[in-house]
A and B are shown apart, each in its own frame.
Chain A
Amino acid sequence: MLITKVKEREKIIAALRNKNIFVFKCFGCKEVYFPEEEIDSLLEEAGVKNRVARVDYLCREEFAEKYYKKYENILKDAEAVIVFSCGVGIQVLAKILPDIPVIPACDTHYINGFQGLTAQDADCQQCGECWLNITGGICPITSCSKGLLNGPCGGAKEGKCEVDKNMDCGWVLISERLKLLKEEGALHKKSTNIRDYRLIIEGGKRSEE
């Protein structure tokens, strides 16, 4: 079972209307709640015809690499990549395209026990409100030991997390990625991020239906 929901429609359409974007939609997991019709209607409304890749198992680095090669020419000068997939797929793609903003178009609510390949190349905790657009495509929930959303704690030493010297500090990685994307200003933002834990429960409920 995989449950993703498209983020706020107006915002996604606005993002899709920008020039030089490229879209990935992932349909790897077959028995899923994945809003395919909604996505297609969104793309139509935004007038996106070309520059869309329908792929599967974006969550696998080896597959994602292949897609990248296939679309390399267009991707090279894309200003942003908008991705309809679970949080793992988005992160894997962001790793391959570290200097292009990779924007999540879906929130991942539930990912457990789906049929298909097991995602191993990145981790998504199905928080239900994907933050990858503000963190350069690196998940703050799974790459930071405290799941912090407003920048790092003061505990990292030489880029390693206070919890374990063999673990990179997620926020140091995020800040490096944002620098590469020339978005480091995003960290100086004035808004404060706070999680909504209802979204996990809602995701769980839906799966029982």
Chain B
Amino acid sequence: MNFEEKLKSGKMVITSEIGPPKGTNIMPHIKEAEGIKDKVDAFNVTDLQSSVMHLGSLATSRLLAERGLEPVFQITCRDRNRLALQSDLLSASVLGIRNVLVITGDHTVLGDHPQAKPVFDLDSVSLLKVASGLMKGKDMVGNELDGIPEFFLGAVVNPGYEPQELQIMKMEQKIEAGARFFQTQAVYDLTSFESFMKRVLPFGAPVLGGIVLLKSAGMAKFMNKNVAGVNIPDKYINMMAAADKKDRPKVSISIAAELIKGMKTLCSGIHIMSLGWEKYIPDVLEASGF
């Protein structure tokens, strides 16, 4: 079963992510993924995450696919205009990549090349629509394609964003434009996630709830201050603050497990963003009852 079929089957699906390195040293990341491939159904490959220049998501996705791992190719609108975006989607298709996660992308000024030109010729909604058009055999101005790609298109949603109404509106637009699954920003508040899920359940698109492993109390505070839609409750911050450095992974795993157990009954899967802590993913899953 591929990622799409698993989501359709109603089985709880687990995705994780690979952040390609700055440089060519990709093998350790691939090995890391291979090490957990029995536990993880698909691997997102980030596209110049946080607007920092990295090895590309297309090449990395292909390296995963070659090894029988299932990539979710992330593509943002920050760096390419509509010609390059369409071309890269076709490239993904011939490289055997089917799952595509379409994102508007962080602004260039937030990354390590703040001088760069921000492109944003298209955005998440319009790129989804364009990708759906390619699947029907037409480019975005209506020219016929010689060879038609097939994608399983996804998008992101941020359940903790205020005003929530705006995220829900965007989510509907993304579905209309062709998104078939959603992965969320990190969730730390199960009550608000539950009310979000109640509102979006009628849309019928499977949602994978986001988990970011906390590494320290400082990281939690930083996220609360700077990351949209993230509000980590004091109880988790205090748990992290009270832990010795060597115990932090253990505490972080138990927090993630608590959240995953709570989310399991509410959505279709879990998306774990481990930010370098890939090695703890099996422990997280085990502690969550997988």
**Residues of A that sit less than 8 Å from B by CB:** 145-159, 162-163, 171-172, 175, 184, 187-190, 192-195, 197
Known interface pairs A157-B226, A162-B110, A192-B129; A147-B161 also in contact (CB < 8 Å): no
Q: Considering the chains assembled together, what is the distance between the CA atoms of A112 and B154 in angstroms? A: 41
Q: Considering the chains assembled together, what is the distance between the CA atoms of A171 and B227 in angstroms? A: 17
Known interface pairs A175-B163, A192-B177; A152-B170 also in contact (CB < 8 Å): yes
- Please, which residues of chain A bring their CB within 8 A of the CB of B226? 157
The secondary-structure label for the interface of chain A is loop
Q: Is B44 at the interface (CB under 8 A from chain A)?
A: no
- Please, which residues of chain B bring their CB within 8 A of the CB of A148? 104, 120, 123
- Please, which residues of chain B bring their CB within 8 A of the CB of A188? 169, 172-173
* Interface residues on chain B, number (Cβ under 8 Å): 36
Q: Considering the chains assembled together, what is the distance between the CA atoms of A126 and B247 in angstroms? A: 57
Cβ of A163 and Cβ of B109 under 8 Å apart? Answer: yes
Nearest chain A residue, comparing its CB with the CB of B125: A150
Could you give, for residues 122-166 of chain B, a 1 whenever the CB lies within 8 Å of some chain A CB and a 0 otherwise? 111110010000000000100000000000000011100111011
B78 CB to closest chain A CB (Å) equals 8
Q: Considering the chains assembled together, what is the distance between the CA atoms of A146 and B119 in angstroms? A: 8
Identify A155's interface contact among B106, B118, B140, CB under 8 A: B106
Nearest chain A residue, comparing its CB with the CB of B109: A163
**Residues of B that sit less than 8 Å from A by CB:** 104-107, 109-110, 118, 120-126, 129, 140, 156-158, 161-163, 165-167, 169-170, 172-173, 176-177, 185, 226-229
Cβ of B107 and Cβ of A171 under 8 Å apart? Answer: no
Cβ of B228 and Cβ of A157 under 8 Å apart? Answer: yes
Nearest chain A residue, comparing its CB with the CB of B172: A188
Q: Considering the chains assembled together, what is the distance between the CA atoms of A145 and B121 in angstroms? A: 13
Cβ of B120 and Cβ of A151 under 8 Å apart? Answer: no
Cβ of A194 and Cβ of B122 under 8 Å apart? Answer: yes
Q: Considering the chains assembled together, what is the distance between the CA atoms of A190 and B227 in angstroms? A: 29
- Please, which residues of chain A bring their CB within 8 A of the CB of B165? 175, 184
Cβ of A156 and Cβ of B161 under 8 Å apart? Answer: yes
Q: Considering the chains assembled together, what is the distance between the CA atoms of A32 and B36 in angstroms? A: 66
Cβ of A150 and Cβ of B156 under 8 Å apart? Answer: no
Cβ of B120 and Cβ of A154 under 8 Å apart? Answer: no
In order of increasing CB-CB distance, the 4 nearest A-B pairs are A154-B158, A150-B125, A146-B120, A157-B228
| Chain A to chain B contacts (Cβ below 8 Å), 21 pairs | A145-B118, A150-B126, A150-B173, A151-B125, A151-B169, A152-B166, A152-B170, A153-B123, A154-B161, A156-B228, A162-B106, A163-B110, A171-B166, A172-B163, A175-B163, A175-B166, A187-B166, A188-B169, A194-B122, A194-B126, A197-B121
Known interface pairs A154-B185, A157-B226; A147-B120 also in contact (CB < 8 Å): yes
Cβ of B118 and Cβ of A146 under 8 Å apart? Answer: yes
Known interface pairs A146-B107, A156-B228, A157-B226; A192-B166 also in contact (CB < 8 Å): no
Cβ of A155 and Cβ of B107 under 8 Å apart? Answer: yes
Most buried by B among A187, A194, A197: A194
Q: Considering the chains assembled together, what is the distance between the CA atoms of A77 and B222 in angstroms? A: 49
